[in-house]
Amino acid sequence: MLFGGTDVGSLTAQAVLLEDGRITGYRNIRVLPNPVESAKKVMGELLEEVGVSPDDVVIFSTGYGREKLVEDGFAKEHVSEISCHGRGAFWLNPAIRTIIDIGGQDAKVIRIDGNGNLANFVMNDKCAAGTGRFLEIQARALGLTLDELGEMTFKASNPVAITARCSIYAETEVLHYMQRKFPKEDIAAGVNRSMAERIYYLARRVGVEREVTLTGGVAKNRGVKHELEKILGVKFVDLGVDPQIVGALGAAIFAMEKYGGE
């Protein structure tokens, strides 16, 4: 039997398929205006790729629109994204105790117990600071892609200080540094460090217990990852998969655990 999970975020949507306790495929797309359509599109493309009918898959949903996917019969059940990220990370590596998930419009620090169950969490979804949106704003101001922004950390000699807590005020700081002809790599490195500091303050509220992993789109920013490892005093565990699919994977695992015995 096949089990599937969908996860719709603010910028991207993911789908994962499990068969016989292993990942048989996954897909990652940019979201559509409607989260329900995003989930259907990403899962539909994945099923077409592997040649499977939706009728042959038990699908659980998480992220935006997860309840509506159950209401219209596309998904059998829905699960919170916090639980899904915890279960997905634990399934990939049972030593994991803390998951830091940084998406486009929110950031979460999740602690799980020795059985992979949720122990505690904190979430920032009230402001763009500490999310992928913060990085997008600053990258645009610098005329860089997100990939280029992350790599600048390793080229900087004297990162600047970005002190503003608000993303818009931080952008003003970035523009001020540019007007004063500071090296672009030093400004970009300051942005990555500032982002890491925001996540550090969030993480302090629940505590960070080893082993620790980083998920979500921002996990692909090497500069933020590097700065966050330094400030937390940890080395993130590589889960061996695209860090953006962990939530969808968790949803598929919940489906497998509940309906795998049928």
The DSSP string of the chain is: -EEEEEEE-SSEEEEEEEETTEEEEEEEEEPPSSHHHHHHHHHHHHHHHHT--GGGEEEEEEETTHHHHHHTTS-SEE--HHHHHHHHHHHH-TT--EEEEE-SS-EEEEEE-TTS-EEEEEEE-SSSTTSHHHHHHHHHHHT--HHHHHHGGGT-SSPPP---SSHHHHHHHHHHHHHTT--HHHHHHHHHHHHHHHHHHHHHTT---SSEEEESGGGG-HHHHHHHHHHHT--PPP-SS-GGGHHHHHHHHHHHHHHTT-
pLDDT at 247: 97
CA contacts within 13 A on the Cβ side of 43: 33
Alpha-carbon distance of 247 to 16, in angstroms, equals: 9
pTM comes to 0.93
Answer whether residue 149 shows pLDDT above 70: yes
Residue 168 CB burial class (10 angstroms; 0-12, 13-18, ≥19): exposed
Answer whether residue 125 shows pLDDT above 80: no
Contacts of 31 (CB under 8 A, 6+ apart): 8, 9, 10, 11, 12, 13, 38
pLDDT at 77: 97
User: What does the mean pLDDT of the chain come to?
Assistant: 94
pLDDT at 231: 95
Per-residue pLDDT tens for 81-111?
Answer: 999 999 999 999 999 999 999 988 889 999 9
Tokens 């068969």 correspond to 19
Answer whether residue 143 shows pLDDT above 90: yes
For the segment 228-250, the average pLDDT, to the nearest whole number, is 97
For the segment 28-44, the average pLDDT, to the nearest whole number, is 96
Answer whether residue 197 shows pLDDT above 90: yes
| Short-list 245, 256, 257, CA closest to 25 | 245
Q: Which residue has the higher pLDDT, 248 or 201?
A: 248
Answer whether residue 127 shows pLDDT above 80: no
Q: What domains appear along the chain, each with residue ranges and CATH number?
A: 1-93+240-262 (3.30.420.40), 98-238 (3.30.420.40)
pLDDT at 111: 97
